[in-house]
Chains A and B, each alone.
Chain A
Amino acid sequence: MSSAKKNTVVYEARIEHVQILDEQGNLDAEQAKGTLTDAEVVELYEWMTICRHYDEIAFKLQRSGRMGTYPQNKGQEAGPAGAGLAIRKSSPDNWLVPCYRENIALFLNGLPMEKILLHWMGDERGNQIPDGVNILPISIPIGTHPLHAAGIAWALKYRRKDAVAVAFFGDGATSEGDVHEACNFAGALGLPCVFFCQNNFWAISVPRKRQTASETFAQKGLAYGHKCVQIDGNDIFASYKVMRDAIEFVKTQGRPVFIEAVTYRLGDHTTADDARRYRDEDELASWVSKDPLIRTRKHLEKKGLWDDAKQAALAARAKQHVDGVVKRAEGIEPPTVDDIFDYTFATLPEELEVQKRTLRTSGLGQAPEQERLRSTP
């Protein structure tokens, strides 16, 4: 400090906003160069369409009493789609540590689609991750799981694996202390971790402006020594490119990256919510036109890669595909009561064995030697 002159600027920063595909489906060809191939754009468009249909069916399942509360991902498909593809392509050793509004990123990385429905059907088998799939179960409490991503990234670094962990969370989560701690650990320990914050402007009923006085969410990473960038979260080119570059950056530079994806929750928070109670209809309308599916389709049509016939075929395919997913989710054999007990520990303590065997927590009848004592005065 002694040599520093008074009144000098000790820190300056800029946050870049990346948009490659705009609302009208116009592509910035320069920025798009070397990013998504046409086939990949088609793949992501198809996935987004299938996931949108999945959301609609999930909503109907809930309304008809076949499923519990469900949080729609509607409107937020593009961020996790592009990011998910970049994660998949860079290494099979990468990890995804999700919240619950990134279904598409999970499906792109090998999570069977019925798992998410099963979860919301009140069945822990929805969280049972298949071997070889590096995804944690979706996290219900807000903002506590990025620490697990940081820990996984730490283990990857310790094992010198050429891979990263990616934490997905929302704007509301940034108010949680654990997000601060995760970002700080990752920065201070130089962990290969990417923080992907979907700013959808609403944490249930609390607007983005009530969460923070920061001008952006991206800038929050600056305080932890992260590289920070904001993207148009409804743009698959931006989310793909920025995640791809972020993975490369954290692996080579040993510093985390914090990405803010600006998007919008087109649906309610969950099926138990009614956003009309707190949200302006005009605001919603202004975002409907920014829908990632609309702009991606426009782009494909401009390139001559898409038409009404293909759309109709895709719609039919999406329906058939999701029907199959629902069948698998609803067709699973019922869980057994043993499942309540069997995963509490690797080996069950005796008391749990007794509770499992008797399905009782009362003591009577569980000490037969006493019974004998009582009957022989």
Chain B
Amino acid sequence: MANLTLVQAINLALTQEMEADDRVIILGEDVGKNGGVFRVTEGLQQRFGEDRVVDTPLAESGIIGTAIGLAIAGLRPVPEIQFEGFLGPAYDQIVNHAARYRTRSRGSVTVPLTIRVPVGGGIHAPELHSDSPEAIYAHTPGIKVVMPSSPYDAKGLLISAIRDPDPVIFFEPKRIYRAFREEVPEDEYTIPIGKAKVVESGTDITVISWGATVLQCVEAMDSLPDDLSVELIDLRTIYPIDADTIVESVQKTGRCVVACEAPKTASMAAEIATIIQERCFLHLKAPVQRVCGFDTVMPYYKLELEYLPDAKRIAEGVVQCAGY
């Protein structure tokens, strides 16, 4: 066991997968000598060489497009896109190619690819460095979308992603890259993609979140009345979504609040609310509450804390839903 930050846990997962499997290679902007702008890949090029940790030209479509070719030819590339705001240029390669090859070739061409991307706000970053586009990719058939909220989960989920036979977007909430440490086993372990985690068990109300917002939910619970029993679910995987865990919880509590950084409309919160109305309709005691980002452009950092759902807003949503 080691006490690691999220950055260190991801670095450990990459190290161990690269040691175990020479098909795993890392590519991206500044990932080599510089160790990535967040230092996630620090030391890996020194350890594994320039053939396996490759500084590419500055071109996101090129990074993902060539990673698709690498994967088709039998490797397990782990490209890094420096910030989620720069996924735009690679969108076509992800959605029209990585996601579709297995289907359109009827299984004869496959793309085992893990795209690592720092995501979300809260670090006083420049423009287009703070967005939450996970729903866009969850809406794309053929792509899995993962977002850990802790160092332990990050390691186990990343190893699962790298070993997955299909393309995975692995969103890393940059706000908690170094926010806290956690005991992380030295040994390799996996956390299954597609399974949520019940962080806290409760009976009165279900709170569902993912990524950095899970921490805001935990903080919110401190300010809630002691006699309100909250069940907190961390989605861990955005797609395929673990509907069973959600449904089991909400059938028990009859109330649900979904909290996330992404804009509210057509967000994963909307999908979760739909799953609940489909499968928990007769168990519901209150409308599902969404505590999300606003349907606006993510503001520059002077106003980002007004935009991001914090413990206070989440607690208000929980209290309103509980009192309905």
Contacts and interface: CB of A to CB of B under 8 A. Distances in A.
Contacts, number: 164
Contacts of B243: 350-351
B285 to A, nearest CB: 14
B279 A344 contact: no
A188 B57 CA distance: 7
B90 to A, nearest CB: 10
Contacts of A301: none
A345 B67 contact: no
A349 interface: yes
B107 interface: yes
Nearest to A150: B66
B61 A152 contact: no
A343 B164 CA distance: 15
Contacts of B302: none
B166 interface: yes
Size band of the A side of the interface? Answer: 35 or more
B107 A128 contact: yes
Contacts of B165: 345-346
A319 interface: no
B102 A345 contact: yes
A148 interface: yes
Given A141-B96, A148-B65, A343-B102, A155 B73 contact: yes
B105 A344 contact: no
A152 B103 contact: no
B110 A147 contact: no
B70 A151 contact: yes
B275 to A, nearest CB: 8
Contact of B65 (A131, A147, A343, A366): A147
Instruction: Identify the interface centre among B75, B108, B280: most chain A CB within 10 Å of its CB.
Output: B108
B57 A370 contact: no
Nearest to A134: B73
B109 A137 contact: yes
Contacts of A182: 62, 65-66
Nearest to B242: A350
Contact of A154 (B70, B102, B106, B280): B70
B194 interface: yes
A144 B56 CA distance: 18
A366 B165 CA distance: 29
Interface in A48-100: 95, 97
A346 B102 CA distance: 8
Given A128-B108, A351-B243, A148 B68 contact: yes
A95 B321 CA distance: 58
Interface in A345-374: 345-346, 349-352, 363-364, 366-367, 369-370, 373-374
A346 B109 contact: no
Given A129-B109, A344-B141, A346-B165, A178 B65 contact: yes
A189 interface: yes
Contacts of B69: 97, 147-155, 165
Interface string B301-312: 000000000000
B25 interface: yes
B61 A177 contact: yes
A128 B105 contact: yes
A9 B4 CA distance: 56
B93 interface: yes
A147 B65 CA distance: 5
A21 to B, nearest CB: 34
B103 A343 contact: yes
A185 interface: yes
Contacts of B164: 346
Size band of the B side of the interface? Answer: 35 or more
A199 interface: no
B168 to A, nearest CB: 10
B51 interface: yes
Given A144-B92, A158-B51, A367-B278, A344 B70 contact: no
A178 B72 contact: no
Contact of A144 (B72, B97, B106, B280): B97
A372 to B, nearest CB: 10
A345 B106 contact: no
B139 interface: no
B279 A156 contact: no
A136 interface: yes
Given A181-B57, A350-B244, A129 B66 contact: no
B175 interface: no
B54 interface: yes
Contacts of B48: none
A366 B280 CA distance: 11
A298 interface: no
A375 to B, nearest CB: 11
Interface string A182-225: 10110011000000000000000000000000000000000000
Nearest to A184: B57
A152 B274 CA distance: 41
Given A147-B62, A147-B65, A351-B240, A155 B108 contact: no
Interface string B88-116: 01001100110001111111111000000
Contact of A344 (B72, B73, B142): B142
B57 A147 contact: no
A127 interface: yes
B20 interface: no
Given A144-B93, A151-B67, A181-B59, 9 more contacts: A127-B106, A128-B106, A144-B97, A150-B69, A156-B73, A345-B144, A350-B243, A370-B279, A374-B282
19 contacts: A95-B73, A125-B106, A128-B107, A129-B108, A136-B109, A137-B105, A141-B92, A147-B62, A148-B97, A158-B51, A178-B65, A184-B57, A343-B102, A344-B102, A344-B141, A346-B166, A351-B241, A367-B279, A370-B279
Interface of A: 95, 97, 124-125, 127-131, 136-137, 141, 144-145, 147-156, 158-159, 165, 177-178, 181-182, 184-185, 188-189, 339, 342-346, 349-352, 363-364, 366-367, 369-370, 373-374
In the A-B complex, the 7 residue pairs with the smallest Cβ-Cβ separation, listed nearest first, are A151-B69, A147-B65, A363-B278, A349-B240, A155-B73, A181-B62, A151-B66
